Structure 1
Amino acid sequence: MEFDVAAPDPAGMVASLSSLGYSLPTAIADLVDNSISANASNVEIDFTWAGSASWISVTDDGCGMSEEALVTAMTVAARGPSTKRSAHDLGRFGVGLKSASFSQSRRLTVATAAQGNWRTRTWDLEVVERFGEWRLLHDPGQETTELLTRLTRDRNHGTVVLWERLSGYHGTSVSKSDEKTQQQFYAEAERTEAHLAMVFGRFLGRSARCKLWVRGSAVKPWDPFLTAHPSVQRLPRETLPLNGDSVRVEPYVLPTAQRLSEADYQAAAGPHGWLGQQGFYVYRRNRLILAGDWLGIRGLRREEKYNLARIAIDIPAEIDAEWGVDVRKASVVPPVALRGHLARIARHTRTVASQSARQRGRIAARAHGSPLRFLWKVRRDDQRISCRINRSHPLVQAILDDPRQDAAAVRALLRLLEETVPVQALRVLHETDTLDDPEPFGGVQEADDDITAIARQVYEALVQQGRSPDEAREVLRAMQPFDELKGFWSG
């Protein structure tokens, strides 16, 4: 066998790893993966501003590593995707620590201890580029050693990942007194906290496997599906077979704004806003890989009317190769065998979400819409909901104006009906925001004799009140529930 050994140039490899498209939050999430895989109970992320000497660290209280394991962890692609891993390992390619770190810093130091004996290794990219070799340094230097001493104080096990010479901040033009750049630096910390709350939400819940801290502040889990809210619609869960394993798909339709407090509504929008968070959420070993995406399925695109549709997909780590999970754990490509099923589930969820939003929109419009369109006016004032019969509705007005009627008695009847709306009974019988929402006249599309007779009464009342036949029909066409029915008014 004749061959050449075509080893990659270290400087070129570093440049390639640095250009994989990590953002700062996604890069830190990759480091947190390693901490969780090491059974850490606490992971602390520190951002310290010092101008061009600013640094970021991720410190955990996990099991730590031996010296041999540390060198392996610092070696690029020392473990490939086919390497056997523990059931809790969130890694895959063996390059996450290095690629994430090189994308954000020019100097990576890892210190680790299993039983009180701290070991340290450093990648200094300037050294790698100068000598053209993968020289993994044993001594990080005095300044870095002092930082590590602070970070490992009173600890006898765990791991510290330290980034120095940060991308975008390490330069002679960045001074410690630069307030604008400092604000930008700490804004990145806030973005990181929001991203970690989303990605590791399942780890931070009630049965928390670990706690995350960003600049001393505990990261609170973000649940994209609002599973604890009583008005969330849980559509049927499906288990889809794939190569001897199974993929779990759980669709949710979130409550509308009317069912949420303003604070809850803002929180539910997530880091990317309502439009950016609709779609599929792909999890691997409870770690969120992709948040809010329609997976490139044909005919599915982001639209405001589908903002309430969110669908959880849980894929086993054993078949993540089938999903094209990338190095950054930030994108997936669904297997061909499942795309039809996912498209079907997505379309049904989107339809239910659209209907829910439209129904809530109708209810909201009753308080602000045309006085002729709705029979009821629903308002919320001072945290109280009131239901009032619309006196301007043509049928109500006709009865009140009829000289044969006792107007005072009719008004008394209307007021009594308003004050005795059976809200409590309706709440017991009907769970809000679910598929059993009542529809006028049973949801029929064509008007039957009874509906036509009611519409005729409204039509005649409109004509008697001075409208032309055409105008009366136009009012009917815009009036609930005739706006969704076909009859003599729709021609």
Structure 2
Amino acid sequence: MSQHKYENIKKHEAVPPAGSMIESLRDLGYSPETAAADIIDNAIFARAKNIWIDFKWNGKLSKVSFRDDGKGMNEDELIQAMRPGSQSPSIKREVNDLGRFGLGLKTASFSQCRLFTVLSRKKNTPITYWRWDLDYTTDPNTAGWTILNMADEEDIELTNNMEEGSIVVWQNLDRIIETNKKEISEDEFYNVAEKVKRHIEMIFHRYLETGKIKIIFNEIQVNGWDPFLKGEAATQPFPEELLENGSVKVKAYVLPHRSKLEEDVWIENEERGGWDTLQGFYIYRNERLLLAADWLGITRKKSHYKLARIMIDLPNHLDQDWQIDIKKSRARPPLSSRQRLKAIAMATMTQAEQVFRHRGKQIQRSLSTDFSFVWNEVVKNERYFFRINQDHPVIAAQIAKFPEKKKEIQKLIRIIEETVPGPIIIAKENEYPDSMVRPFEKTPSEEIVSLMKELFIGWIKQGFNSDIAKRKLLTTEPFSDYPQLIETLTDE
């Protein structure tokens, strides 16, 4: 019926001018990092095992190239791939397809350069190559949706030497080389390259960790960077949860307190934007990271949530439901999942705050009420303050040694409680986060070791067996920081 509806209506094709349309596509908001990731997506979909990325400085003649050993394309396939909007976002795709709109190769390349060439070769077939040149496309004398059958000789030779695969070459790098009409230096060019490399380390870390792909960046192999620090013993994983009939997997992690990490691991996170910045949800599609460190409107980033990170795995058939954008840098969960995600986030943030505030103890939620802290938080009339826990085993034992001095000791404790320099601590923590020196950090003092042994022997004498006495120490501050030392204690 819709075909007959306009049968007698005057019609005219409204084809957009190629030059102005492509110039508009250049401003979708790609950075060099997100643009490079889109090119890698195509190589992965082409079943590449190895990807070579090269940033070559030569002033305004500098270029960036991406080479892969994937299955390659014949001429008809390459011409189709060079066409903007080469596939509908609504069609059913292969499960390992990392694209959606058929725009990634073009919009990513247009965003960084005015000239890009793709050369490709399928096994046992001749090479093929085509080029977009925006100066040609926007010239009034040649304007049109025209690609050019040309490539540089060195790239043709390199492709001829490949059994199969593709090469994408960016030239006339106006968005990288020229910023504010000022040409950048060689050092600044390679700083851009380093940012791209670090982005790739995170976006494709799961591919790199499992060996599904190998990426060689300026002749150096790229290693994946895991934002969840799964290799650290003190990282606390939550059980995996399934949403949307099992299609979506969610797994939360609470990262270790600084005192539980080597300095270089802590600095690595700091250099990637800072611990506060890296908290939040990490959304993956087919193991490729789409959106990093975003609370999806559930909460704002706060310092005491800095150790909370949550992995969400999506299949590509949920792209529209999750509003995945062209750049693969935005996602929004459907209403059907938001409430459960909020509950998971709140549980993760609560645990992360405990670790942050109590210096990295492995406090399971089911056991947290049994944990003996030296300081207890008290809330009264919607205001909070801190009191020394006089039921703490060490404090209680010391008070019991001097029954005739109990009131004097309690007065002394009250003076300490009333003079806690809270405002100064908060101001220093805000100004110099994570720089406060912690007593007994990593290496316990002789006094701590002596008190630990004294408590352990005391519990043994009270009739507790060795295993129970050790468990009690593991839930008592500050001895809980030294599980290996606790394990060496004996009742002999």
| Aligned mate of 2:225, from 218, 222, 227 | 222
| Aligned mate of 1:120, from 113, 118, 129 | 129
Structure 2 counterpart SS, 1:324:
coil
1:199 aligns with 2:208: no
Other-structure match for 2:302: 303
Structure 2 counterpart SS, 1:204:
helix
- C-alpha separation between the residues in 1 aligned to 2:333 and 2:261? 33
The two structures have a TM-score, normalised by structure 1, of 0.74
The 5-angstrom pairing of residues 243-392 of structure 1 reads: 246-269=247-270, 271-297=272-298, 300-360=299-359
| Aligned mate of 1:156, from 151, 163, 178 | 163
Other-structure match for 1:417: none
Other-structure match for 1:475: 416
Shift of residue 192, structure 1, vs aligned partner: 0.8
Shift of residue 191, structure 1, vs aligned partner: 0.7
- C-alpha separation between the residues in 1 aligned to 2:314 and 2:198? 24
- C-alpha separation between the residues in 2 aligned to 1:444 and 1:214? 51
- C-alpha separation between the residues in 2 aligned to 1:290 and 1:215? 26
Instruction: Check 1:443–1:173 CA distance in 2 against 1; reply closer, same or farther (3 A cut).
Output: closer
Instruction: Check 1:169–1:268 CA distance in 2 against 1; reply closer, same or farther (3 A cut).
Output: closer
- C-alpha separation between the residues in 2 aligned to 1:11 and 1:70? 21
- C-alpha separation between the residues in 1 aligned to 2:228 and 2:179? 46
1:138 aligns with 2:149: yes
Other-structure match for 1:183: 187
Could you tell me whether the CA contact under 8 Å between 1:24 and 1:104 is conserved in 2? yes
Shift of residue 117, structure 1, vs aligned partner: 1.4
Instruction: Check 1:349–1:80 CA distance in 2 against 1; reply closer, same or farther (3 A cut).
Output: same
Shift of residue 193, structure 1, vs aligned partner: 0.8
| Aligned mate of 2:40, from 32, 39, 54 | 32
Shift of residue 443, structure 1, vs aligned partner: 11
Q: Write the letter of the residue equivalent to 1:23.
A: S
The 5-angstrom pairing of residues 9-24 of structure 1 reads: 9-24=17-32
Instruction: Check 1:442–1:171 CA distance in 2 against 1; reply closer, same or farther (3 A cut).
Output: closer
Could you tell me whether the CA contact under 8 Å between 1:63 and 1:158 is conserved in 2? yes
Identity %: 36
- C-alpha separation between the residues in 2 aligned to 1:238 and 1:443? 34
Structure 1 counterpart SS, 2:205:
coil
Structure 1 range deviating more: 278-287 or 161-170: 161-170
Structure 2 counterpart SS, 1:203:
helix
Instruction: Check 1:150–1:256 CA distance in 2 against 1; reply closer, same or farther (3 A cut).
Output: farther
Instruction: Check 1:190–1:211 CA distance in 2 against 1; reply closer, same or farther (3 A cut).
Output: same
- C-alpha separation between the residues in 2 aligned to 1:279 and 1:450? 37
Could you tell me whether the CA contact under 8 Å between 2:177 and 2:189 is conserved in 1? no
Instruction: Check 1:278–1:137 CA distance in 2 against 1; reply closer, same or farther (3 A cut).
Output: same
| Aligned mate of 1:439, from 358, 363, 371 | 371
Shift of residue 271, structure 1, vs aligned partner: 2.4
Shift of residue 247, structure 1, vs aligned partner: 1.2
Other-structure match for 1:55: 63
RMSD of aligned Cα (Å): 3.3
Other-structure match for 2:430: none
1:67 aligns with 2:78: no
Q: Write the letter of the residue equivalent to 2:243.
A: L
Instruction: Check 1:120–1:89 CA distance in 2 against 1; reply closer, same or farther (3 A cut).
Output: same
Other-structure match for 2:424: none
Could you tell me whether the CA contact under 8 Å between 1:51 and 1:174 is conserved in 2? no
Instruction: Check 1:434–1:192 CA distance in 2 against 1; reply closer, same or farther (3 A cut).
Output: farther
Structure 2 counterpart SS, 1:202:
helix
Could you tell me whether the CA contact under 8 Å between 1:280 and 1:292 is conserved in 2? yes
Q: Write the letter of the residue equivalent to 1:128.
A: T
Which ranges of structure 1 fall in alignment gaps of 5 or more residues? 364-431, 484-491
Instruction: Check 1:49–1:445 CA distance in 2 against 1; reply closer, same or farther (3 A cut).
Output: closer
Could you tell me whether the CA contact under 8 Å between 1:235 and 1:251 is conserved in 2? yes
- C-alpha separation between the residues in 1 aligned to 2:21 and 2:403? 77
Instruction: Check 1:228–1:72 CA distance in 2 against 1; reply closer, same or farther (3 A cut).
Output: same
Instruction: Check 1:220–1:7 CA distance in 2 against 1; reply closer, same or farther (3 A cut).
Output: same
Other-structure match for 2:3: none
1:231 aligns with 2:234: yes
Other-structure match for 1:165: 172
Q: Write the letter of the residue equivalent to 1:105.
A: C
Could you tell me whether the CA contact under 8 Å between 2:111 and 2:175 is conserved in 1? no
1:209 aligns with 2:212: yes
Which ranges of structure 2 fall in alignment gaps of 5 or more residues? 1-5, 379-386, 421-474, 478-492
Q: Write the letter of the residue equivalent to 1:321.
A: Q
Shift of residue 236, structure 1, vs aligned partner: 2.4
Could you tell me whether the CA contact under 8 Å between 2:202 and 2:225 is conserved in 1? yes
Instruction: Check 1:459–1:191 CA distance in 2 against 1; reply closer, same or farther (3 A cut).
Output: farther
Structure 2 counterpart SS, 1:360:
coil
Q: Write the letter of the residue equivalent to 2:26.
A: S
Shift of residue 101, structure 1, vs aligned partner: 0.3
Structure 1 range deviating more: 335-344 or 82-91: 82-91
Shift of residue 316, structure 1, vs aligned partner: 1.4
Shift of residue 4, structure 1, vs aligned partner: 2.7
Shift of residue 477, structure 1, vs aligned partner: 5.6
Instruction: Check 1:232–1:296 CA distance in 2 against 1; reply closer, same or farther (3 A cut).
Output: same
Could you tell me whether the CA contact under 8 Å between 1:253 and 1:349 is conserved in 2? yes
Structure 2 counterpart SS, 1:77:
coil
- C-alpha separation between the residues in 2 aligned to 1:47 and 1:60? 15
1:107 aligns with 2:133: no
The two structures have a TM-score, normalised by structure 2, of 0.74
Instruction: Check 1:450–1:293 CA distance in 2 against 1; reply closer, same or farther (3 A cut).
Output: closer
Structure 1 counterpart SS, 2:266:
helix
- C-alpha separation between the residues in 2 aligned to 1:357 and 1:217? 36
